């Protein structure tokens, strides 16, 4: 694997390989490689807690040296393009770049770079490492994807998680369904839209999405009513009780408690929300390790 830009670029065998590698790191059956004189830069042009922190821990566990980069103190503030920023970091010695950007498909302008790029989220496009950690979490529960009924609820149109997971989970054999307000449907994805209350008893995984207010227009945001949304599309206690005994709840976070999920359900027995966060660090270790091994980076 030379880069990780989109789930569309991964084969199912590559997905399984990454899950196995991440699981081996998690359970201590494979020691983490330690990369000598290998430098990484994390370029986060959007706010992040889980993704950025788990990449930082993953990189340090692998022994990478971090290049200090903050957008608010960089030449980005002087109008420097993303390409020129990345090319500069390549020239000063970066071996891999982790990038989150507000621009969908930002990576298309970086194709001539000579170092790998890991997409940590691009606008409303893709979030491949989130999808991979979700896949790992599901695999820990079911050890298969064939025939699993997965319901993704919320702001489908603006969610890179919905797009990445729809593509990958469908390829792995799962049945993916959406539930969403009409104005947040994404007609580019060929999944059925269903009534959440009609399908819940048949669902194995319910995946809730944050409402992406930062990607909505001002009028759309001002008209949003929390209680109405929660009652129509949120996971309430009543809906929780309709789930199968072995069903699990997922959420890419940050969680808006009382909006997409009732406060008391975030850490309910069926919830795997914090387990996803734990798995994220191991999956990001696996991704970085895979890419650096492909490039033949030396290890201690």
Measured in Å, how far apart are the chain's first and last C-alpha atoms?
A: 21
202 pLDDT band, cuts 50/70/90, is very high
Mean pLDDT of 238-252: 97
What is the pLDDT, as a whole number, of residue 124? 87
Helix, coil or strand: residue 290: helix
Structure tokens at 180: 């969403």
Residues at the binding site are 50-51, 78, 100, 127, 130, 160, 210, 253-254
**Strand-by-strand arrangement of the 65-67 sheet:** 65-67, 39-44, 96-101, 117-122
* Closest alpha carbon to 131 in 51, 214, 72, 189: 51
Residues at the binding site for carbamoyl phosphate are 50-51, 100, 127, 130, 253-254
Residues at the binding site for L-aspartate are 78, 160, 210
Residues 24-33 pLDDT 10s: 999 998 887 7
Residues 3-21 pLDDT 10s: 999 999 999 999 999 999 9
Higher-scoring residue by pLDDT: 209, 30: 209
Q: Can you state the angle between helices 12-27 and 160-171, rounded to 10 degrees?
A: 100
pTM for this prediction: 0.93
Over the chain, what is the mean pLDDT? Answer: 93
Distance, CA of 141 to CA of 292 (rounded, Å):
29
Residues 53-87 pLDDT 10s: 999 999 999 999 999 998 888 888 888 999 999 99
Predicted confidence (pLDDT) at residue 187 exceeds the cutoff of 50: yes
Cα torsion through 94, 32, 160, 207, rounded to 10: -170
Cis, peptide link before residue 254, omega less than 30° from 0: yes
Residues 152-182 pLDDT 10s: 999 999 899 999 999 999 999 999 999 999 9
Name all domains of the chain by residue range, CATH numbers in brackets. Answer: 7-127+278-294 (3.40.50.1370), 129-272 (3.40.50.1370)
Percentage, residues of the chain above pLDDT 70 = 95
243 DSSP 8-state letter:
S
Max CA distance (Å), the chain:
57
CB 102 within 8 A of CB 45: yes
What is the pLDDT, as a whole number, of residue 82? 96
With b meaning 16 or more CB within 10 Å and e meaning fewer, what string describes 279-289? bbbbbbbbbbb
Alpha-carbon dihedral sign for residues 277, 198, 147, 127: negative
Predicted confidence (pLDDT) at residue 299 exceeds the cutoff of 50: no
Predicted confidence (pLDDT) at residue 210 exceeds the cutoff of 90: no
Percentage, residues of the chain above pLDDT 90 = 82
């Amino acid at each position: 694997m030379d880069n990780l830009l989109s789930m569309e670029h991964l084969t199912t065998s590559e997905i399984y390989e990454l899950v196995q590698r991440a699981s081996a790191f998690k359970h201590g059956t494979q020691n983490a490689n330690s990369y000598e004189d290998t430098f990484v830069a994390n370029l986060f042009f959007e706010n992040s807690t889980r993704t950025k922190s788990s990449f930082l821990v993953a990189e340090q566990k692998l022994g990478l040296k971090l290049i200090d980069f903050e957008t608010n103190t960089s030449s980005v503030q002087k109008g420097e393009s993303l390409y020129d920023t990345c090319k500069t970091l390549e020239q000063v010695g970066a071996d891999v770049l982790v990038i989150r950007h507000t621009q969908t498909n930002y990576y298309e302008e970086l194709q001539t770079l000579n170092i790998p790029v890991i997409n940590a989220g691009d606008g409303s496009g893709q979030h491949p490492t989130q999808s991979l950690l979700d896949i790992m979490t599901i695999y820990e529960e079911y050890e298969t994807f064939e025939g699993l009924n997965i319901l993704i609820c919320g702001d489908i149109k603006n969610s890179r998680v919905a797009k990445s997971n729809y593509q990958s989970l469908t390829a792995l054999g799962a049945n993916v369904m959406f539930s969403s307000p009409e104005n947040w449907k994404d007609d580019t994805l060929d999944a059925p839209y269903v009534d959440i209350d009609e399908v819940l008893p048949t669902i194995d995984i319910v995946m809730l999405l944050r409402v992406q207010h930062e990607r909505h227009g001002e009028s759309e945001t001002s008209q949003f009513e929390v209680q109405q949304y929660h009652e129509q599309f949120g996971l309430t206690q009543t809906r929780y009780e309709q789930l199968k005994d072995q069903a699990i709840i997922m959420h890419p976070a940050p969680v808006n408690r009382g909006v997409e999920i009732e406060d008391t359900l975030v850490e309910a027995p069926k919830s795997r929300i914090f387990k996803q966060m734990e798995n994220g660090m191991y999956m990001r270790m696996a991704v970085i390790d895979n890419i650096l091994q492909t490039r033949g980076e030396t290890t201690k």
